Amino acid sequence: MTNIRVGTSAWADHDPFYPPGIRGTKQLTYYAQFFPVVEINMTYYRMPTAKMAEGWVNRTPDDFTFDVKPPRELTSTPETPGDTPPEPDADIAQEFAEAIKPLHEAGKLGAVTFQFPPSYRNTEEHRDYIRLLPELFPDYHVSVEFRRRDWLDEEHAEQTLELLQDAGMSYTMADEPQVGTGSVPPVYGITNPGLSVIRFHGRNTETWYNWKGSSRDRFNWEYADSELEEWIPKIRSAMEAAETVHVFFNTNYADQGPRNAVRLMQLMDLPHEPLDEDHKAEQQSMF
């Protein structure tokens, strides 16, 4: 049995992936027939409830896994000045922890995934805040992704990885356009042997800074085999160094996410469900 799980960021953003009639709550169940893991993004924008989490548990197989983003108040909002860390709001963290507790109790919670925006500078204050994250979620695994280059440039990458390792958090590797301070290089690192996380955002340099556009347009990217093959040695190294590896495709235009995910699995000779229409129709017949 392999220790890698490949899926997409969110399950509801890939309309062409779903056959006619698969809408609403049915989409997660259908998605879970093809992929063993998903990243939940909607929790970044609004607080989930335990009832919602129970629904996610009930609509997925026993061995399915969710990585979940915490509310944006815990990573900074557009109104937060870049030099000021967000407040370590224990009340928000506790409410979120209780809401996703059904995932944890069912053995389906992978990580609480913090994604810090490009405005989040590498400062002493911000480093101190990041050290506090495991205290906000003592019962859950925490992973961290950066979107600002000064965390992972040649001068600071080693220090950043040590910070996460010392705090027991997983570092999230990322593939994304290389376009200035608001993007990070594809630095390899394992900071917690329990879990390694890798996210693919596409390489669309024209839309990367289009904050006001839709995520579907911003992350519009069909990965070429050569681009995915660049990552395969790193992914295999992560599989050797970590107990579990989660790989997410955040390419949200049409059904790019599922197709990119399946293509990576094909290139790595990993077990996967094909996305041809005949097989998808067969899966739909199970509903």
What structural domains does the chain harbor? Answer: 4-284 (3.20.20.410)
pLDDT score recorded for residue 276: 73
Give the pLDDT confidence score for residue 124 in this predicted structure.
95
pLDDT at 282: 65
The DSSP line for 120-142 is ----HHHHHHHHHHHHHSTTS-E
- pLDDT value at residue 1: 56
What is residue 13's predicted lDDT score, i.e. its pLDDT? 84
CB contact at 8 A, 267 and 229: yes
Q: What pLDDT was estimated at residue 212?
A: 80
Helix (H) or strand (E) holding 113: strand 109-116
The answer to whether the beta carbons of residues 75 and 119 sit under 8 Å apart is no
Write down the pLDDT at residue 18: 95
> DSSP state, 73?
G
| Upper half-sphere CA count for residue 171 (Cβ side, 13 Å) | 22
User: Quick one: pLDDT at residue 139?
Assistant: 97
CA distance 246 to 14: 19
pLDDT in tens, the chain (287 residues): 589 999 999 999 888 999 998 999 899 999 999 999 999 999 999 999 999 999 999 999 999 999 999 999 999 866 676 667 777 789 999 999 999 999 999 999 999 999 999 999 999 999 999 999 999 999 999 999 999 999 999 999 999 999 999 999 999 999 999 999 999 999 999 999 999 999 999 999 999 998 887 888 899 999 999 999 999 999 999 999 999 999 999 999 999 999 999 999 999 999 999 887 666 666 666 66
Provide the whole-model pTM: 0.95
User: Which pLDDT belongs to residue 85?
Assistant: 76
Neighbour tally for 179: CB within 10 Å: 14
Condensed to tens digits (0 to 9), the pLDDT of residues 141-158 reads 999 999 999 999 999 999
> Residue 285: its pLDDT value, please?
64
Tokens of 193: 């042997």
